[in-house]
Chains A and B, each alone.
Chain A
Amino acid sequence: MALITANWNPMGEAFYRKTELYEMSWNLRDGLKDCLMAAAPYGGPIALLREPLRRSPSCRPQLEIYSASGVAIASFPWKSGPVIQLGWTVSDELLCIQEDGSVLIYDLFGSFKRHFSMGQSKLSEVDTKVRMPPKQMVWCRRPKSQQPSVVMVWDHLLLVAGVCNDIIQFPLDSRCVCVGELDGVRIISSINQELLQEVPVVCQDIFKIASMAPGALLLEAHREYEKSSQKADEYLREIKEQGMLAEAVRQCVEAAGHEYDSNTQKSLLRAASFGKCFLTDFSPEHFVATCRELRVLNAVRECSVGLPLTHTQFKQMTLQVLIDRLVYRQFYQLAIEICRYLKIPDFQGVSRVLKHWAACKVQQKELSDEAIARAVCLKVGDSLGVSYSHIAAKAFECGRTELAIKLLDSEARSGEQVPLLLKMKRSQLALSKAVESGDTDLVYMVVTHLKNEMNRGDFFMTLRNQPVALSLYRQFCKLQEQETLRDLYNQDDDHQELANYYVATSYREKRLDSRLSHLQSAVDEYNKAKNEFASKATEDEMRLLRFQKKLDDEKGAGLMGLSLQATMETLLMLGLYKQTDQLYRDFKVPDKRYWWLKLKSLAEKEEWEELEKFSKSKKSPIGYLAFVEVCIKKNNKYEAKKYISRVTPEQKVKAHLAVGDLEGAADAAIERRNEAEISAVLARCSASDRLLTDRLNRAKLSTAKK
């Protein structure tokens, strides 16, 4: 443990330390000589361009991209113009600035993304800066720094100069490049990579020789405890007497975060855990979080991953960004494990990783559609927030339509499937997906699309195979395109609907002959549909229209548009009995209704003689109570009484009552020994009809007895 301070260099009140991060995995033959180099902060990737100014077409400079630990990610010959500067954007995109001021942008894997141009003037400024001695100057700082400094690099010397005029010097074996970080400077040479930083105060407190800080004592206590030495108790007691145990634990936890070496982390955390046992109400969150985060950090610091992030940097960049970076570097498995380990909600965690993974997977040219689709579905399953249509769109972008369609099959949201299918010109499939979704608006959208895209015949055929879509299109046509509606029914040989269509259109015609011709078409279609009733009814309608027209022309009867019944009514009112009879016979009007009609009409006109004649023309199909009642309605008791004798026994009481003949009603009711009828008559009797009342009551009594 004493070794921890071995690489500490004092500067003013503070210490600076240089820790090795990696032995670089790369193998650079000529070191970093004649190279343009750019390394992204936050342990980002490194770009190298050898001999950037070489212009011979036969031998082009090579652009290489490495992880921070020197693992090769991409390498390709530089074919564009001479590059004078390299740089990284915050989203890990490589900027290559050319002499002419144009900037080419590549992704981490060396794929060209886009380019833009910038003015020359700015460039020359950058240019002069680079050529200034010393070779490089970088701020070395950290949050809450005690002693911010500048790092200067020469060919064989690295010098740290603080505000306090103190300096630290490190000799250099080979050329190196410095990268300013949030909390230090990374020094990259061809052989290794180191982190130079001001030692955080909490680490100083703990590890400074002979430190009496609570954390230092706790660390010591734990060490003694591990040795089963009673000194552990003494140290502990000392901390507790100062009331600093909680502070000691906090220091150990915090210091662990700042240490790069996992053994140091462990001993600090163990000490913290040990101290925690003697505290009653200590909230464990900070401890647990640090343990988890360190575990994640150690994993990403692995050489194979090569993200040498400090805890401070990690906190600054956030977990979300770390996951993004891992995804961007295609460390999907690790990213997923981290998400699961830190229990990030799927929506922000695993699903997001899977989405990127799948988008990348579909671009793997060597795999078959089948294999990719299977792999994607297996992994993605129905994870929330992973949109199959998004993945499919990616596949389509890469020209893999079949794969896209396979993937879309797994998309649960039809709203998402349909537009892409249309874009891929799979209209039929889009239509069936839209139908499946139940979202009629979606179906309409596809139908409209198909209508514009196909010729009419194909369009109709397509609809024919999709009854739901066809129905919806019909609804559309009913409102918007009546003519098309007819064509649709025609194509389907739907004679019944076609006939209905003609009936409906006939009403829109202003002229009789065109109305009749529509109705004739309807008759034909009803016949084809074997709907005998409807065809007959429509023929009747035509006959009625012709009849109305004729009478309107001849007599100005104003019949047009009336129903058959209303027509007969009008004719009767006009006294055109012969014509009424003609209609009655021609249209086979049921006797009952005809009798009612004639009865009411004659009564209305008070043609009592005609009415009596009519009543005797044959046996009334509606009985004779109706005759009594219409007469009464016209206040003609005299006429009403004429019909009473012909009323059936069942209705007789009612008939007598209708004309106000209580005696007659009583006679009829008593004769029929019907209690209800007797009561009905009684109800109409007034106090003055005492004799009648008595008679009825007696009859009622005797009926009830039986």
Chain B
Amino acid sequence: MAAHLSYGRVNLNILREAARKELREFLDKCAGSKAIVWDEYLTGPFGLIAQYSLLKEHEVEKMFTLKTGRLPSADVKNIIFFVRPRLELMDIIAENVFNEDKLHSTRDFHILFVPRRSMLCEQRLKEQGVLGSFINIDEYILDLIPYDGDLLSMEYESAFRECYLENDQTSLYHTAKGLMTLQALYGTIPQIYGKGECARHVANMMLRMKREFAGIQNQILPVFDTLLLLDRNVDLLTPLATQLTYEGLIDEIYGITNGYVKLPPEKFAQKKQGEASKDLPTEPKKLQLNSAEELYAEIRDKNFNAVGAALSKKAKIISAAFEERHNAKTVGEIKQFVSQLPHMQAARSSLANHTSIAELIKDITTSEAFFDNLTVEQEFMTGVDTDKVNTYIEDRIAQKDPLIKILRLVCMQSVCNNGLKQKVLDHYKREILQTYGYEYILTLNNLEKGGLLKPQTSSRNNNPTIRKTLKLWMEDANEQNPNDISYVYSGYAPLSIRLTQLLARPGWRSIEEVLKMLPGPHFEERQQLPAGLHKKRQQGENRTTLVFFLGGVTYAEIAALRFLSQMEDSGMEYVIATTKLINGASWIKSLMDTPEAQMH
């Protein structure tokens, strides 16, 4: 069911199994039939841990979405609220419970806080006078959720905003706790590197938490050699750029949520013989995307320009395999062929799906609009005219393109120029406010606070130095047979990944000067291992690094790390963790404030 989690270097199924076990234990604590009332946000991430069948096995008969008013009727013994520890949710729960009591119901109430219980919330329930109604108040520690064989995410949407805009480090505390859980299952990580204020904070908390357990020695042989903590604000540029890998483009265009994508149905219409395709499906086509699907695993991280070739190669292989049936003469041969049929049919349907997706994407990437946008992005990334008002952006504002797209471009220009001249910045801001509405002044303030948009303060722009030293722009990026990570953005090598690559070899000492130009401290910590747990490395055995992106990571960055893992001479394999899987649009959106006018 979750086999794809155990394919990688590190078996992430262990983490999932631990989470499932804990869930079962909690459910069994509430004896009898149950209904779960869900904080809607949790259903997606939970789906990656346990399907409905597991819940059903433990007598979960009904599921509802948490909402105000009265609970739907259900003939069950237990009502369990699965919620994040948020005050506004407590008020809803209180209302539910309060209404229920009036009916003289005999149902038992329980709360399961995810990922952690909160005294503040319990206090609130107490103030509302319902705390006593709960038989069990428990926490379900689900910080890091396995998304794929090499990918963990907390799906903590507001992490970047909270850290950089609101000085609220709750997400970092959860991160540190999540890393402690991970270490409990996979051994103490002997080396910790980091860059950025948040990284420093997380490392400090981890070391502190370790002291709290002083004496309990973790006897598990370490799976990870190194942990690298990276602040998103060390590399603000990368998420702003349009991702050009297959998976990255699917996310940019359709959005991947909890491992699923919803696609326009037209291309997926099943044409049955003798039936006109007049009944086009209207429901979006929902597909799960992960490495369990062989073809997807093969092409997800390729530059989109290399996907077509890969698909047609695959098509040839598959049809050749089907042709084999003509060669099958003996009963044994036929039997052999038939036994492979289900696998071949799955491969064929997978190929059909991805061919359709690739066609959908190609319609967009070959459009003039896409090309123009990319051209401007690449100009910015290479430092061309970043200090002037950009005509393309002005034009797009005049054409009222989606605001997020505009913000993405303006922020990108600001980041690439290490801030915009006051005049240029004010011009963009006025354009945006006049065109999209003055309410966006709050959003613009947020972007400035987060450093994505800023006036130039020092005359010195370090970007060219950084770009040159770290080789962030590769003129002749090979999209088909890449030899450098820059292929994921067709020329631009993501700074975050370059830093990761250089840490492995030759080490950060070689780029000390550049590191100082990037925000926040960089550091190294060591965690003592009990004697006997020091790994004896086999000749040629790869090391494993867990790279944790605080504030989000894009699919293109993940692709670049996978590319590094696969490089023959890298000697390093990467597992990726993050607070949230993001792209430029979802990231900008999380930073927006849009008050809705009450007045009409």
**A interface residues with partner B (beta carbon < 8 Å):** 346-347, 351, 382-385, 412-413, 437-442, 444-445, 448, 467-468, 471-472, 474-476, 479-480, 496, 500, 503-504, 507-512, 515, 533-534, 537-538, 540-541, 544, 560-565, 587, 589-590, 592-593, 596-597, 622
Contact assessment for A475 and B166 in the assembled complex, using a CB-CB cutoff below 8 Å: yes
Complex CA–CA separation, A597 to B399 (angstroms): 8
Residues of A within 8 A of B427 (CB): 590
Complex CA–CA separation, A667 to B394 (angstroms): 32
Complex CA–CA separation, A592 to B390 (angstroms): 12
B219 to A: closest C-beta gap in Å:
13
Residues of B within 8 A of A534 (CB): 441, 445
Complex CA–CA separation, A643 to B31 (angstroms): 80
Q: How many residues of B contact A (CB 8 A)?
A: 55
Contact assessment for B172 and A438 in the assembled complex, using a CB-CB cutoff below 8 Å: yes
- In the complex, B600 has a CB within 8 A of chain A: yes
Contact assessment for A412 and B208 in the assembled complex, using a CB-CB cutoff below 8 Å: yes
Complex CA–CA separation, A540 to B429 (angstroms): 13
Contact assessment for B166 and A537 in the assembled complex, using a CB-CB cutoff below 8 Å: no
The residue of chain B having its C-beta at the shortest distance from the C-beta of A511 within the complex is B599
Task: List 27 interface pairs A-B (beta carbons < 8 Å), by A numbering.
Answer: A351-B215, A382-B214, A384-B213, A412-B208, A437-B208, A438-B172, A438-B208, A439-B173, A440-B170, A441-B116, A441-B170, A445-B123, A448-B123, A467-B167, A475-B168, A496-B445, A503-B439, A503-B595, A504-B595, A537-B429, A560-B600, A563-B438, A564-B433, A565-B434, A592-B394, A593-B397, A622-B398
Residues of B within 8 A of A412 (CB): 208, 211-212, 214
Residues of A within 8 A of B430 (CB): 533, 537
Name the residue among B85, B116, B208, B593 with the largest chain A CB count within 10 angstroms.
Answer: B208
Given A384-B214, A448-B123, A593-B435, is A538 in contact with B441 using a C-beta cutoff of 8 Å? yes
**B interface residues with partner A (beta carbon < 8 Å):** 85, 87-88, 116, 118-120, 123, 162, 166-170, 172-173, 176, 201, 204-205, 208, 211-216, 394-395, 397-400, 426-427, 429-431, 433-439, 441-442, 445, 593, 595-600
Residues of A within 8 A of B214 (CB): 382-384, 412
Residues of B within 8 A of A590 (CB): 394, 427, 431
Contact assessment for B205 and A500 in the assembled complex, using a CB-CB cutoff below 8 Å: no
Complex CA–CA separation, A386 to B438 (angstroms): 59
Contact of B119 among A382, A445, A597 (CB under 8 A): A445
Given A507-B596, A533-B426, A537-B441, is A413 in contact with B212 using a C-beta cutoff of 8 Å? yes
Name the residue among A347, A382, A479, A592 with the largest chain B CB count within 10 angstroms.
Answer: A592
Residues of A within 8 A of B600 (CB): 560-561
Contact assessment for A596 and B399 in the assembled complex, using a CB-CB cutoff below 8 Å: yes
Name the residue among B168, B434, B436, B600 with the largest chain A CB count within 10 angstroms.
Answer: B434
Complex CA–CA separation, A527 to B123 (angstroms): 40
Contact assessment for B173 and A561 in the assembled complex, using a CB-CB cutoff below 8 Å: no
Residues of B within 8 A of A384 (CB): 213-216
The residue of chain B having its C-beta at the shortest distance from the C-beta of A435 within the complex is B169
Contact assessment for B119 and A480 in the assembled complex, using a CB-CB cutoff below 8 Å: no
Contact assessment for A561 and B597 in the assembled complex, using a CB-CB cutoff below 8 Å: yes
Residues of B within 8 A of A533 (CB): 426, 429-430
Closest 3 pairs (CB-CB, A-B):
A384-B215, A507-B595, A471-B167
Residues of B within 8 A of A479 (CB): 87-88
The residue of chain A having its C-beta at the shortest distance from the C-beta of B389 within the complex is A590
Complex CA–CA separation, A509 to B600 (angstroms): 10
Contact of A563 among B116, B119, B208, B437 (CB under 8 A): B437
Given A480-B87, A592-B398, is A438 in contact with B201 using a C-beta cutoff of 8 Å? yes
Contact assessment for B215 and A382 in the assembled complex, using a CB-CB cutoff below 8 Å: yes
Complex CA–CA separation, A474 to B434 (angstroms): 30
Contact assessment for B441 and A438 in the assembled complex, using a CB-CB cutoff below 8 Å: no
B444 to A: closest C-beta gap in Å:
9
Contact of B598 among A347, A508, A564, A587 (CB under 8 A): A508
Residues of A within 8 A of B211 (CB): 382, 412
The residue of chain B having its C-beta at the shortest distance from the C-beta of A436 within the complex is B208
A432 to B: closest C-beta gap in Å:
14
Residues of A within 8 A of B205 (CB): 437-438
Residues of A within 8 A of B597 (CB): 507, 561
Residues of B within 8 A of A540 (CB): 433-434, 438
Contact assessment for A441 and B434 in the assembled complex, using a CB-CB cutoff below 8 Å: no
Residues of B within 8 A of A592 (CB): 394-395, 398
Since A504-B595, A537-B430, A561-B600 are in contact, a sample of 20 more A-B pairs with Cβ atoms closer than 8 Å, ordered by chain A residue number, is A347-B215, A412-B208, A437-B205, A437-B208, A438-B169, A440-B168, A471-B168, A472-B168, A475-B166, A480-B87, A496-B445, A503-B595, A507-B599, A541-B433, A541-B441, A564-B433, A592-B395, A596-B395, A596-B398, A596-B399
Complex CA–CA separation, A453 to B397 (angstroms): 53
Contact assessment for A500 and B442 in the assembled complex, using a CB-CB cutoff below 8 Å: yes
Contact assessment for A441 and B120 in the assembled complex, using a CB-CB cutoff below 8 Å: yes
Complex CA–CA separation, A541 to B213 (angstroms): 57
Contact assessment for A537 and B433 in the assembled complex, using a CB-CB cutoff below 8 Å: yes
Residues of B within 8 A of A537 (CB): 429-430, 433, 438, 441
Contact assessment for A383 and B212 in the assembled complex, using a CB-CB cutoff below 8 Å: no
Name the residue among B85, B398, B600 with the largest chain A CB count within 10 angstroms.
Answer: B398
A630 to B: closest C-beta gap in Å:
11
The residue of chain B having its C-beta at the shortest distance from the C-beta of A565 within the complex is B435
Complex CA–CA separation, A515 to B167 (angstroms): 29
Residues of A within 8 A of B445 (CB): 496, 500, 534
Contact assessment for A504 and B593 in the assembled complex, using a CB-CB cutoff below 8 Å: yes
The residue of chain A having its C-beta at the shortest distance from the C-beta of B173 within the complex is A438
Contact assessment for B434 and A538 in the assembled complex, using a CB-CB cutoff below 8 Å: no
Complex CA–CA separation, A383 to B173 (angstroms): 25
Contact assessment for B168 and A438 in the assembled complex, using a CB-CB cutoff below 8 Å: no
Residues of A within 8 A of B434 (CB): 540, 563-565, 587, 589, 593
Complex CA–CA separation, A444 to B212 (angstroms): 21
Contact assessment for A560 and B215 in the assembled complex, using a CB-CB cutoff below 8 Å: no
The residue of chain B having its C-beta at the shortest distance from the C-beta of A419 within the complex is B119
Residues of B within 8 A of A382 (CB): 211, 214-215
Complex CA–CA separation, A596 to B396 (angstroms): 11
Contact of B215 among A346, A468, A476, A511 (CB under 8 A): A346
B78 to A: closest C-beta gap in Å:
26
Residues of A within 8 A of B599 (CB): 507, 509-512, 515, 560-561
Contact assessment for B442 and A441 in the assembled complex, using a CB-CB cutoff below 8 Å: no
The residue of chain A having its C-beta at the shortest distance from the C-beta of B433 within the complex is A537
Contact assessment for B398 and A385 in the assembled complex, using a CB-CB cutoff below 8 Å: no
Residues of B within 8 A of A564 (CB): 433-435
Complex CA–CA separation, A565 to B441 (angstroms): 16
Complex CA–CA separation, A541 to B440 (angstroms): 11
B211 to A: closest C-beta gap in Å:
5
A176 to B: closest C-beta gap in Å:
49
Contact assessment for A597 and B598 in the assembled complex, using a CB-CB cutoff below 8 Å: no
Name the residue among A480, A544, A593 with the largest chain B CB count within 10 angstroms.
Answer: A593
Complex CA–CA separation, A565 to B162 (angstroms): 33
Complex CA–CA separation, A67 to B429 (angstroms): 86
A501 to B: closest C-beta gap in Å:
10
B401 to A: closest C-beta gap in Å:
12
Contact assessment for A445 and B120 in the assembled complex, using a CB-CB cutoff below 8 Å: yes
Residues of B within 8 A of A385 (CB): 215
Residues of A within 8 A of B595 (CB): 503-504, 507-508
The residue of chain A having its C-beta at the shortest distance from the C-beta of B162 within the complex is A475
Contact assessment for B441 and A509 in the assembled complex, using a CB-CB cutoff below 8 Å: no
Residues of B within 8 A of A593 (CB): 394, 397-398, 431, 434-435
A442 to B: closest C-beta gap in Å:
8
Residues of B within 8 A of A448 (CB): 120, 123
Residues of B within 8 A of A383 (CB): 214-215
Residues of A within 8 A of B120 (CB): 441, 444-445, 448
Name the residue among A347, A437, A441, A480 with the largest chain B CB count within 10 angstroms.
Answer: A441
Complex CA–CA separation, A503 to B123 (angstroms): 32
Complex CA–CA separation, A673 to B116 (angstroms): 69
Complex CA–CA separation, A467 to B201 (angstroms): 15
Complex CA–CA separation, A617 to B213 (angstroms): 78
Complex CA–CA separation, A479 to B120 (angstroms): 13
A528 to B: closest C-beta gap in Å:
15
